[in-house]
Amino acid sequence: MAGNKDFDLYRPSEEHDELRKVVRSLAEAKIAPFAAEVDEASRFPQEARDALTAADLHAVHVPEEYGGAGADALATVIVIEEVARVCASSSLIPAVNKLGSLPVMLSGSEELKKRYLASLAKGEAMFSYALSEPDAGSDAAGMKTRAVRDGDFWVLNGVKRWITNAGVSDYYTVMAVTDPEKRSKGISAFVVEKSDEGVSFGAPEKKLGIKGSPTREVYLDNVRIPADRMIGAEGTGFATAMKTLDHTRITIAAQALGIAQGALDYAKGYVQERKQFGKPIGDFQGIQFMLADMAMKLEAARQLTYAAAAKSERLDDDLTFHGAAAKCFASDVAMEITTDAVQLLGGYGYTRDYPLERMMRDAKITQIYEGTNQVQRIVMARNLP
């Protein structure tokens, strides 16, 4: 992954603007019609995966040399943002494909890159990221999953929890302890395949939101994998995991932007149609002030996210702070905007006949996963610019 030093800090190019139009058109035509039913049935949005793969938008971050589109960090943000605008669950297809595969891009051998990134780029497989455990959430370095060397193989045992798209994804970046005495420096990263003997999955979690994206435990029971599936050198897995999150927290910010934009767009239309006291409620100053605040905060979050994406592309030294700030601010804003959007619809906003209660439920997770917003504030405090 090479940084582009000439990448503009804030302004999307004409190519980015054109990409947005393409993704928005596809999302509205082929993803939005299924969003409510996907949520209601808690089923994987296969229609979205098929549409994104057919348009080569399922994993745009994969470099061209491995058969991918070679999209920059901002383009990836735009894809996720526009899909999340209509269906947050579906936006986790491109987002988690990046999260799962980025450790391979950052630290993997050339052989691993050719084997796994090429398959991802073709749409033959999806990638997930397995870091968290039942007793290792915010304290990820406290994980207990073990990997023991056995000749030319590693044998993995343990449980990973809260794994997005588990059971659907074919490949998993798994962090495991290879030297218990070294804590974070004794953690290594591996590629585990769904088809490996000893890999199984728990029942899907019954979640508040993003119900179309399966979240399951991954069980590793004497999973024996070739030694060449280690990502990077032994003991570097935790560093790779943290470096990955510096980049991918921006994709959660992008998801939050999309959810918030979808809610604002719907609320804007509604207040022009809904009449009380003989005129549209959008004519009342109280409503106008709410919309103005929602739009102002959303635009601030977008600028912060796009600036962080530029830093991700350039590999700037202050990426850790800006990635955490974008994720934290955008997700807090998304929760506020979706809550206000529900309020603007009154009783209708509280029903499943309208999409805003789904958007509000979906927004909540953006404050929690890839590091809670409390953890993001710790990260920012430790990396003040």
Q: What pTM did the predictor assign?
A: 0.96
pLDDT tens-digit readout, 1-57: 556 656 555 578 999 999 999 999 999 999 999 999 999 999 999 999 999 999 999
pLDDT tens per residue, range 136-181 = 989 999 999 999 999 999 999 999 999 999 999 999 999 999 999 9
Confidence of residue 370 (pLDDT cuts 50, 70, 90): very high
Q: What is the mean pLDDT of the chain?
A: 96
Per-residue pLDDT tens digits for 309-345? 999 999 999 999 999 999 999 999 999 999 999 999 9
Are the CB atoms for 149 and 230 separated by under 8 Å?
no
H/E element holding 273? Answer: helix 237-273
> 258-277, pLDDT tens digit by residue?
999 999 999 999 999 999 99
CA distance 351 to 337: 17
DSSP track, 312-378 = HHHT-TTHHHHHHHHHHHHHHHHHHHHHHHHHHTGGGGGSTTSTHHHHHHHHHHTTTSSS-HHHHHH
* Long-range contact set of residues 266-274: C-beta below 8 Å, sequence gap at least 24: 266/341, 266/354, 266/355, 266/356, 266/359, 267/291, 267/294, 267/340, 267/341, 267/344, 267/345, 267/356, 270/344, 270/345, 270/348, 271/344, 274/345
Residue ranges and CATH numbers for the domains of the chain are 14-122 (1.10.540.10), 127-235 (2.40.110.10), 238-382 (1.20.140.10)
Please report which confidence band the pLDDT of residue 306 belongs to, taking 50, 70 and 90 as the band edges.
very high
**Among 81, 313, 357, 370, the one annotated catalytic:** 370
**Any bridge partners for residue 219, and if so which?**
159, 200
40 assigned to active site: no
Q: How far is CA 306 from CA 20, 76, 83, 106, in A?
A: 14, 11, 17, 21
Mean pLDDT over 362-382 rounds to 98
Structure tokens at 142: 């406290």
pLDDT for 201 beyond 80: yes
Q: Measuring CA to CA, which residue among 134, 137, 183 is closest to residue 159?
A: 134
What pLDDT, on a 0 to 100 scale, did the predictor assign at position 12?
Answer: 83
Residue 226 has pLDDT above 90, yes or no: yes
pLDDT digits (tens, 9 = 90+) for 64-97: 999 999 999 999 999 999 999 999 999 999 999 9
The structure tokens 């927290």 sit at 249
Instruction: For the beta carbon of residue 57, count every other beta carbon within 10 angstroms.
Output: 26
